[in-house]
Chains A and B, each alone.
Chain A
Amino acid sequence: MISIRIQPVLLLLAALPLAAQDFAHDVQPIFQKSCSPCHGAKVQSAGLRLDLHDAALSKSVIPGKAAESELYKRIAGLGSGARMPLGGKLTDPEIAAVKSWIDAGAKWPENLSSAAPQPIHWAFVPPRKAPLPVTGNTKWPLNEIDRFILARLEKESLAPSSEADRTTLLRRVSLDLTGLPPTPAEVTAFLADKSPKAYEKQVDRLLASPHYGERFARQWLDAARYADSDGYEKDKARYVWFYRDWVINALNKDLPYDQFVIKQIAGDLLPNHTQDDLVATGFLRNSMINEEGGVDPEQFRMEAMYDRMDAIGKSVLGLTIQCAQCHTHKYDPITHEEYYRMFAFLNNTHESNAAVYTPAELQKRSDILRRTREIEATLQHANPGWEARMAGWEESAKHELTQWTVLKPDVDDISTGGERYLLQPDNSLLAQGYAPTKHTVKLTFKTTLKSIAAVRLELLTDPNLPLGGPGRSLKGLGALSEIEIEYNGRKVKIARASADINPPVSPLDSVYDDKKGRARTTGPIDFAIDGSKDTAWNADAGPALRNQPRKAVFNLAEPIANSTGAELTFVVKLSQEHGGWNSDDNQNMNLGRFRIAATDDPGAVADPVPAAVREIFSIPAAKRSPLQVQTIFSYWRTIQPQWETENQEIAKLWAAHPEGTPQLVLAERENMRETHQLNRGDFLQPGKLVSPGVPAFLNPLPAGQPANRLTFAKWLVDRNSPTTARALVNRLWLSFFGTGIVETAEDFGRQSAAPSHQELLDWLAVDFMEHNWSIKRLQKMIVMSATYRQSSNITPELLSKDPYNRLLARGPRFRVDAEIVRDIALSASGLLNEKVGGPSVNPPAPKFLFEPPTSYSPKVWVESKGDEKFRRALYTFRYRSSPYPMLQMFDSPNGDISCVRRSRSNTPLQALTTLNEPVFLDAARALAVKTVKEGGSSDAQRLDFMFRRVLARGPEAGERDTLLSLLSKEAGHYTAGHDPMPLIVENTTDLPPAQLAAWVTVSRVLLNLDETITKE
């Protein structure tokens, strides 16, 4: 390495001979390397370009006078202009070279002007199928892949390796396609199958396995930065496993990749979208959420937007668009403006959270709905004339008796406890950011009303609240512990209160325990004015019914008189104290969105008619849909005393409605957000307004489509996209061979690594699109190739010629991904619980990781029971800030940002993990017991059994000797007075404990071999 000491420039110059520098050799490379990104053919900051003779010399260089030339002054940091290049410096010799070149007359040979445009980067041209190469060896290739690979090998005078032996091959393809090793029975069956299609049958079996989806889901989930928590300081648990399961199912079904992408970017905008389509939008919602105290929610919404752009860039486009967040991309032709034009497509969503249901729950839900409709139909049938009676009621209920004046609140910042109350256009407040579990917000109102006799609190729903609100608890509820009204610095007595819902008294759910040892309850509206903060009004109507707007009215004992109509000021304090002890967990019971109004009507009561019904009132009867009529009926019947029995029956049905699971999803806003180009990516520095659009160098938007997220999604997977198919094909290739055809899987731009086999990549990309973007088909082609089936043993020749196996003269051999490391141990030992999908699980983990001072806040980690702790690693609960140690140690990313290429490290901490981590120890124990019980009667038979479970193959003689001598040595050790019980815990075998302990040491050795965690 060149060692350069930092010295004053002039000192160094004095030491250099002032010989004329050769432009082509000494100067132009400096321009190209350090200046061209901003002053080249593509971008000309300040109108300067240094790739053309005339343009450079006329503007910035005075031949013979470096000291007066702007170019020199800028690179040397002289004068007042910003030093160039921005954010960096040329080396002193470089600066000296430019100086002496200018001083010597700035000679610039004409032929070195790059007037010709740069050639278009290969990856920006849509792929096409080149003719298949002709190879000398025509026997080896089994499919098109092999033609390309072999052609290159022949060019390098290399020959492919022979095919791997069958056992190795089956273990390889099993690990690759399902992430699980083959069982000994599967190996035996394969070895016994002499048909020419034996291997293909195995491949088809594996591709059809439900575990196939789990394997590739993990790869996509890395790109989708999936995690089960919010990240940042609070890092609260979130519920997104429906999205994870959606990915598994989509891959198992071989959902075409274009559809796979469209649903994840814009499933909510598809016509007649299903719950699954909505769940798929969790992809974009996997961004982190910062709810630490005092955050500006908009700042972190923007951070999430950047993260979404980055994720789409890496995972779908294979482009690094992130740079253009702050400035026009230095290397790739993405301008600052184009970045924000793409951004504009995504910038129009609510951060929504919807209840989703399992298939069984969906069934139950539809049963309840159907049964309700049946009962209602029976009522209608048995009571002719109900329409007229209902219309009569509507006439009487149509107009609210009380006139309310909605008031604009002024929020006392300190009283919010760090929660942000965002004023909405309708003068309601939307609570966002940090959610303290206890606070009393103080609101000040100014009004010129002549009298205030009653105050109304409306709880409103909002797409940005859990399940739509109206509260901020996980169920979308908020509790009002107490309301206080103050005027002239004195508390105003509230005489009575009414509400449109008055739930029965019930104890607060244990989740909200505040560890103060007192019973707290929720119930009717009187709880908000009873002087006790232990009781609260909580408008909970039960599952599926609770997420709707509510009203409460508080009548003052003495109206506030303001006969002059001058501006009066009064204060409303809303106590929200029904949260739990830990504000860093999901324990708040805060109001989510609400609005205050006042009236001079002393007789005001809370309007009992639901907002949804009132909305229909405003539609002329003749224009109402049957569903709207039914909606009115569903409310009206509840106030018909003679239908008490039926109403109760329906209420009972709904009480049994499944709770569902909250899932983060997207919801499109009705009013488009304006998107500005942000200077330096700073949301406080909005530049010009931009409209949705895409970079000019990529494929155009589909014609005649609305400028929305769905169109953007379709554009991403357009057949003419130059990078989309290539990026995915390359990543699939990477998963089999360890390195992509383009090594920089996240970047296909100008700075990307040169592809090892570009024509192959292009051929596969086109073929992939031609065959309906079928991932399974492509993967089958890869694993069926002779290239894939080669032995991975390394000869000295191959090692020296191709250490990283980029040419593929041998099969892939590398340590499997973190999740598979664990799954192999569980599978070999027979402990693996093969259940697919469902909520994430909490296998054993060191407790301290989730407690201060290791974790910022105490996190919930209740160890899963029974075989739930032996689920595949894919299902392990992932806290971003406290990653599951075993997975982290083996390079599983934590989900902070999108990752399409994992590190693959090899460290002592990994060794300690497989040696000593409790689940690995469980696996060693279980494998020993299984071996003793099922593995035959002799030590040699048992060893063979154990060996095959771990490595698929049987032991070689040397291996057998080593292990059997270990077995006998340790049996002796434990017989000779060393207690075996701590190691084996219990003995369910016929063997003496010392013998079983010796077997555990052997299984532990096997589970720790390099080969065990390696795909060979």
Chain B
Amino acid sequence: MNHPLDISRRWFFEQCGVGLGAAALGSLLGGPASAAPADPLTPKQPHFTPKAKNVIFLFMAGAPSHLELFDYKPALAKFSGTLPPADLLKGYRSAFINPNSKLLGPKFKFDKYGQSGADLSELLPHLSTIVDDITIVKSMVTDAFNHAPGQILMNTGSMQFGRPSMGAWVTYGLGSESRDLPAFVVFSSGKKGPSGGSSCWGSGFLPTVYQGVQFRSSGDPVLYLSNPPGVDTEVQQDSLAAIKQLNNMRLGVTGDPETATRISSFEMAFRMQSSAPELMDLSKESKETLEMYGAEPGKPSFANNCLLARRLVERGVRFVQLYHEAWDQHGALVKDLKANTKDTDQAAAALVKDLKQRGLLKDTIVIWGGEFGRTPMVQGGDDGRDHHPNAFTMWMAGGGFKPGITVGESDELGFNVTKDKVHVHDLHATMLHLLGFDHTKLTYKFQGRPFRLTDVSGEVAKQLLA
């Protein structure tokens, strides 16, 4: 007769999964839980052959002004200082200003760049060098015009808290390629943290193993990674060996597969203790690479985070999100946009270049954007813009997005989308499509109904695809 331990191990590795994870997979795959693979993070095949397998989302929190960066509006300059047409404002709600405020012309010069002749502001000199590698979408719309709900919508497909974030969905659908780093990693730079807080990368009702893990670009990258003071590697190894021995002894008595999982969790923790510092060590990067990003080892910055994002993807991390909360220009539009683009333009462009030259861009999606856009109307004197959900710009690169195109248009004031509208739900559907998912079928049953990232809407934006 088999020893219970052997059985339980076999059972564990063959079919069990961990707690709710197994049920989750059952739900995903539409089959019984017992058919699920061993670990909720085991790599899984999507619905169809994917174009991409990783995502790096550069979340420009606070909401950058499309009117100063991408969406060139000569008419807005022309009508600057006049009131917007009354019928445009019908039913329009704004956060701070009276919607019937004067129009404000773009503050920066635009030019056409690349073979594609894309409009870009003078604030984005680095992006202009890779403009033929990216897909610019000028026709984004969202439903929210306050930061926290807007960020939660962009991340979870719902303004109401409690839904899983896109990183959690993707990790749930695809599992993880990395055995010693989390599948979904989050970095934060800029003036503040994201308005939506940790719910931006939460797992909602999905099992918690799918939630994003916040990394820090200085000190311990992962909380509690370092051994306690006075515990060196030797003591740590001895301790872990003893823990493993004792856990194995108990597993022999109880036969509980969960104990086997605990043993492997401790093993992965130990591996993470060396892999995470190795990941963070930018000193091994070439001088050229560091200069390309503008990264300086040991000095936390968006640039460092971009470089780390590449390193994470190289190591099989599925979803990386970099928050840079700095874009809420109710005032100081000129000064702050100069500062923000100085902090981010070079590194974001370098990330795309670097991924491309390393052959990683073809299966890595890069997405750049904030939670909404900014009003064509002025806030305050003549140097600020309020929140604006009706039209804004994002760009994507790699992973099956069609490079070198600009999709969508807003009206001549940059107020409403007039062509090829892409709602946040459509962006999610498109991202999932490139990852190999039919967004209507990547579901999880909760509270008696199948939920999905795109909730009840979303269409794949085919015009964005290569």
- Where the two chains meet, the residues of A that have a C-beta atom closer than 8 Å to any C-beta of B are 1, 3-6, 86-89, 231-233, 235, 288, 290, 292-296, 303, 306-307, 314, 320, 322-323, 330-332, 413-414, 418, 684, 743-744, 746-747, 749-752, 792-796, 799-800, 803-804, 813-815, 846, 848, 852-857, 880-883, 885, 888, 891, 894, 896-897, 903-913, 915-917, 921, 956, 958-959, 962-963, 966, 969-970, 973, 978-984, 997, 1001, 1004-1005, 1008-1011, 1014, 1016
Contacts and interface: CB of A to CB of B under 8 A. Distances in A.
Contact of A846 (B196, B223, B231, B448): B223
Contacts of A896: 161-162, 199, 202
B208 A1005 contact: no
Interface stretch (B76-84, B265-273, B358-366): B265-273
A420 to B, nearest CB: 10
Given A413-B97, A744-B448, A905-B207, A959 B249 contact: yes
A853 B197 contact: no
A894 B199 contact: yes
B277 interface: no
A723 to B, nearest CB: 12
Contact of A856 (B98, B193, B223, B448): B193
Given A233-B148, A853-B190, 16 more contacts: A1-B30, A3-B47, A294-B96, A303-B159, A322-B447, A323-B447, A743-B23, A793-B253, A793-B254, A910-B265, A911-B265, A912-B224, A912-B269, A912-B272, A962-B245, A962-B246
Contact of A796 (B2, B225, B387, B457): B2
Interface stretch (B12-20, B280-288, B348-356): B12-20
A848 B230 contact: no
B232 interface: yes
A857 B191 CA distance: 9
Contacts of B197: 231-233, 235, 855-856, 880-882
Ranked nearest first, the 8 interchain pairs of A and B with the lowest CB-CB distance are A881-B197, A294-B95, A983-B230, A87-B456, A751-B448, A982-B230, A233-B195, A897-B162
A746 B446 CA distance: 9
A888 B202 CA distance: 10
Contact of A233 (B18, B20, B196): B196
Interface in B112-166: 145-149, 159-162
B242 A292 contact: no
B13 to A, nearest CB: 13
A677 B304 CA distance: 50
B418 to A, nearest CB: 22
B196 A908 contact: no
A89 B29 CA distance: 18
20 contacts: A1-B31, A3-B45, A87-B455, A88-B456, A294-B96, A306-B160, A746-B447, A792-B256, A793-B254, A848-B219, A883-B198, A891-B208, A905-B209, A906-B261, A911-B266, A916-B227, A973-B235, A982-B230, A983-B231, A1005-B243
Report the interface size class on chain B. Answer: 35 or more
Contacts of B188: 853-854
Interface stretch (B3-11, B309-317, B332-340, B396-404): B3-11
A391 to B, nearest CB: 53
B259 to A, nearest CB: 5
A45 to B, nearest CB: 14
A286 to B, nearest CB: 13
A693 to B, nearest CB: 22
Contacts of A980: 230
A490 to B, nearest CB: 22
Q: Which of B31, B222, B447 has the most CB of A within 10 A?
A: B447
B93 interface: yes
Contact of A799 (B7, B149, B249, B380): B7
A10 B1 CA distance: 57
Nearest to B323: A853
Given A294-B387, A909-B182, A1005 B242 contact: yes
Contact of A752 (B243, B448, B455): B448
A897 B257 CA distance: 31
A442 B443 CA distance: 51
Contact of B193 (A294, A320, A853, A981): A853
B229 A983 contact: yes
Contacts of A984: 230
Contact of B255 (A796, A846, A857): A796
Given A294-B94, A911-B269, A915-B224, A856 B246 contact: no
Contacts of A963: 242, 246
Contact of B230 (A880, A903, A979): A979
Contact of A414 (B8, B257, B323, B379): B379
A970 B253 CA distance: 28
Contacts of A855: 192-193, 197
